[in-house]
Amino acid sequence: MYAMLFESVSKRFVMGHDRARSFQDLMLRTLRPGSHTPREILWALKDVSFMIERGEAVAIVGRNGSGKSTCLKLMTRILTPTQGSVDIQGRVAGLLELGAGFHPELTGRENIYLNGALMGLSRREIAHRFDEIVAFAELERFVDAQVKFYSSGMTMRLGFSIAICVNPDILLIDEVLAVGDQSFQEKCLERIEQVRANGVTIIFVSHALETVRALCERVIWLDQGQLREDGACDVVVDDYVAAVHAHEEVAVE
Amino acid sequence: MRGLLLERSDQQRTATTLFDRVAEVIHRRELLGVLVSRDLKLRYKNSVLGFLWSLINPLLLMIVFTIVFTIMIPDLHVPNFPVFVLCGVLPWNFFSTAIISSIPSISGNGHLIKKVYFPLEVLPLSTLLAHLVNFLLAFIVLIGMIVAFGIPLTVNLLWLPLVILTQLLFTGGVALVLSTTNVFYRDTGVIMEVLMQAWFFLTPVFYPLELLPEMTVVRGIELPVQRMVYILNPMASIIASYRAILYGSTLGSPPHAPALDFFARTLVTAALAFIVGLWIFNRYRERFAEEV
Ligand SMILES: Nc1ncnc2c1ncn2[C@@H]1O[C@H](COP(=O)(O)OP(=O)(O)OP(=O)(O)O)[C@@H](O)[C@H]1O
Ligand SMILES: [Mg+2]
C-alpha cells in the first residue's frame, strides 16, 4: 500500500512581475498597451512520477529552486498540480519551510489550539495532547507568552512539536531542523526515528546531506523541476555531491 | 481511533462541487469556532472595554444624525428618530465592517494557507461570524433603546433570526467575492472603503426611504426611484425588514411583520449572492496558496 503517489506531476507558476497586482496597475497597463510583457512561465515541477510506500523514509534533495518545497506543498494539497495527479493516503502533517503557521499576536497556547484545529483535530484531541506538545518543545515557561516574543528556534520547536504530536501518517519536514540548537536537533531526529519505527512515512527535505544519510534509505534528486535520480540513499547522494562539485569546477573555470 | 480513521479518509476527498464545499466547511465547524474566537481575541485583546469601544461608533452616528435631523433640519417628522437611526446604523455597521475586514482575510493569512490544507472559505466566513457576535451584543443596546422609547416589543421579533440569516448570506457572498479579488488585486480594500461610503448614502440608513420621490424623470426617462433602491440594493431591503419588525413605520405604527413577497425576494437575492460568492471563490481557490 502506498502513502504517496505522484503520476506525471507538473506544476506551473506564472511569474508575478508580469501581472497587474492592483486595480491601479491594471488601469495603467490598459492605458498603455505597449508596456505589455509576455507572460513568463516557470515549470517548478515537470513530469515527476514516483511512489512512496507506507513507512518509508525518503529524502528529497536538489539545488535551490529545484522544486523541493513545491513538491511538499503538493503533498499537503496546499497546491494542486497543473498536470498529472497526486494521490495521498493518510493524514499529512509537517513543517513546511521556515516560520511555522503561527499568529505572532497570539500566545503559544492559543497557537497550539489554532494549529491543531487547522490540522483537523478537535478541541478534545488537542487538549489531550497539549502537555505532550509543550513538554516536547520544552516551552513550559513560555506557553502563555505571545509568539512574537519567541526566538526563531523556539517557534520552530513548537511547530515541530505540534506536527509530531498530532500522530500523522505522513510526516513532512522541509529544512526546518537547521534552526534548532544541537540538542533539540538530536532530540528531533531521535523522535523521527521513533515515529518511523511506528510505521509513519517520513519525507524529508534538507541540504544537510549527513542527516539525510543518517535518516533516509531512499533519496529523490530533483534538478530544475525534473526527477534526476531516485534510488538508494548512498548512491543518489554520492551522485548528487559529484554533480554539485562538477558544477562548482565549471563555475570556477 | 476508529473514528479518527474514518475522519481522515473523509478529509482526503478534494471537494469541488459547491455542495461539497459547504459540507466541508460544516464538517470543519470546530475550526470555524477557533478562528472566530481568535478574531475576537485579537480585536478586543480580551477586554470588555474593547467591546464597549466598538459600540461608540454606532452610538455616535445615532447622536449626530438625531441632532442633524431633529434640530438642524427638523421637517423630517420621523417619530422616535434615535431608534429609527439605530435600526439602520447597527445592521449597516455590521455589513460594512464585516466586508472591510474580510477583504484581507485570505491575503493576510498567507502564513496559515501555505502551511496546512484546510477549506479556505472558513477565513472570510469566520471574520463575518466574529462580527456577527459583535452585532448581536450591540443588539442589547438597541433593545434597551426600543424599550426606553416605549415602542412595544412584539411577537414579530421572531422574524429576527430570519432577517439576520438573510443579511449573513448577502454579506457572506460579498465577502467571498472581495476576499478573492484582493488576492489578485491588492488595492481592493482601498477601493471598497470609498465605495462603501457611497453605498452608505445610497442606502436608507439615516433617512426614510419614503423621503425619496417615487418617480423621477432623468433626461426624459422615468425612473421609479423607490423601487429601484430596493431592487438594486439588497441592503435597503434588509434594513427595511429590521425596521419593520423592531421599529414599525415612520408614520408611527407599531412593529409589524415584513411583507411576505418582499421578504421572500430579499431572501432569494441574498441566497443567490452567497451562491455566486461561493462559486467565484471556488473557481480561484486553488491559486490562493501561490499568490499570497
Ligand atoms: N508561488 C510561486 N509563484 C511563482 N513562482 C514560484 C512560487 N513558488 C515557487 N516558485 C518557483 O518555483 C521554483 C521552485 O521553488 P521551490 O520553493 O520548490 O524550490 P526548492 O527546491 O524548495 O528550493 P530551496 O532549496 O531554496 O528551498 C523556484 O524557481 C521558485 O521561484
Ligand atoms: Mg524550499
> What integer pLDDT is reported at residue A18 of this predicted model?
65
Residues of B in contact with A103 (CB under 8 A): 38, 42, 111
- Pairwise CB contact (< 8 Å): B38 & A97: no
**What is the chain B residue with the closest CA to A117?**
B31
Chain centre distance of CA A99: 11
Q: Average of pLDDT values for B137-146?
A: 90
For residue B146, what pLDDT band results from cuts at 50, 70 and 90?
A: very high
Q: Average of pLDDT values for B26-47?
A: 87
Q: Parallel, antiparallel, or unpaired for β A83-88 and A2-14? A: antiparallel
- Compute the CA torsion angle B154, B160, B161, B163 (nearest 10 deg): 150
| Structure letter (DSSP) for residue B278 | H
Cell of A17: 512581475
What would the pLDDT profile of B234-244 be if each residue is shown by its tens digit? 999 999 999 99
Chain A contact present for B46, CB below 8 A: no
Residue A19 vs residues A27, A34, A35, A40: alpha-carbon distances, Å = 12, 14, 11, 10
What span, in angstroms and rounded, lies between the C-alpha atoms of A88 and A2? 8
> What integer pLDDT is reported at residue B8 of this predicted model?
38
Q: Average of pLDDT values for B152-158?
A: 92
Chain B contact present for A158, CB below 8 A: no
Provide the domain limits for residue B175. 17-40+49-291
> What integer pLDDT is reported at residue B226 of this predicted model?
84
Higher pLDDT, A253 or A72: A72
Q: Parallel, antiparallel, or unpaired for β A2-14 and A41-53? A: antiparallel
For residue B252, what pLDDT band results from cuts at 50, 70 and 90?
A: confident
For residue B68, what pLDDT band results from cuts at 50, 70 and 90?
A: confident
CA B52 – ligand 2 centroid, Å:
46
Distance from CA of A208 to the nearest CA of B (A): 22
Residue A178 vs residues A14, A174, A205, A211, B75: alpha-carbon distances, Å = 30, 10, 11, 10, 73
Q: Parallel, antiparallel, or unpaired for β B221-223 and B216-218? A: antiparallel
- Pairwise CB contact (< 8 Å): B116 & A26: no
> Does residue B2 surpass a pLDDT of 50?
no
Interface of A with B in 36-65 (CB under 8 A): none
- Pairwise CB contact (< 8 Å): B115 & A91: no
Among A172-181, B28-37, B80-89, name the one with the lowest average pLDDT: A172-181
> What integer pLDDT is reported at residue B227 of this predicted model?
84
For residue B64, what pLDDT band results from cuts at 50, 70 and 90?
A: confident
For residue B176, what pLDDT band results from cuts at 50, 70 and 90?
A: very high
> What integer pLDDT is reported at residue A99 of this predicted model?
56
ipTM for the predicted complex comes to: 0.88
For residue B7, what pLDDT band results from cuts at 50, 70 and 90?
A: very low
CA A66 – ligand 1 centroid, Å:
7
> What integer pLDDT is reported at residue B10 of this predicted model?
38
Residue B137 counted as domain residue:
yes
- Pairwise CB contact (< 8 Å): A21 & B186: yes
What span, in angstroms and rounded, lies between the C-alpha atoms of B125 and B36? 9
What span, in angstroms and rounded, lies between the C-alpha atoms of B247 and B77? 15
Q: Average per-residue pLDDT in chain A?
A: 89
Residue identifier of the C-alpha nearest atom 5 of ligand 1 = A13
Into how many domains does chain A fold?
A: 1
> Does residue B15 surpass a pLDDT of 80?
no
Quick one: which of A86, A88, A61, A92 has its CA closest to A9? A86
What span, in angstroms and rounded, lies between the C-alpha atoms of A164 and A171? 7
Q: In this structure, what CATH number is given to the domain that contains residue A17?
A: 3.40.50.300
Provide the domain limits for residue A7. 2-252
Share of chain B above pLDDT 90, in %: 61
Residues of A in contact with B33 (CB under 8 A): 117
> What integer pLDDT is reported at residue A17 of this predicted model?
64
What would the pLDDT profile of A2-35 be if each residue is shown by its tens digit? 999 999 999 999 876 667 788 888 888 788 776 6
Residue B12 counted as domain residue:
no
- Pairwise CB contact (< 8 Å): B34 & A169: no
Q: Average of pLDDT values for B221-242?
A: 90
Among A189-193, A228-232, B73-77, name the one with the lowest average pLDDT: B73-77
Cβ of residue A182 lying under 6 Å from some atom of ligand 1: no
Into how many domains does chain B fold?
A: 1
Q: Average per-residue pLDDT in chain B?
A: 88
> What integer pLDDT is reported at residue A200 of this predicted model?
95
Residues B88-103 as b/e (b if ≥16 CB within 10 A, e otherwise) read bbbbbbbbbbbbbbbb
> What integer pLDDT is reported at residue A97 of this predicted model?
65
Q: Is the Cα torsion angle A222, A223, A226, A232 positive or negative in sign?
A: negative
DSSP β-bridge partners for residue A58: A203, A218
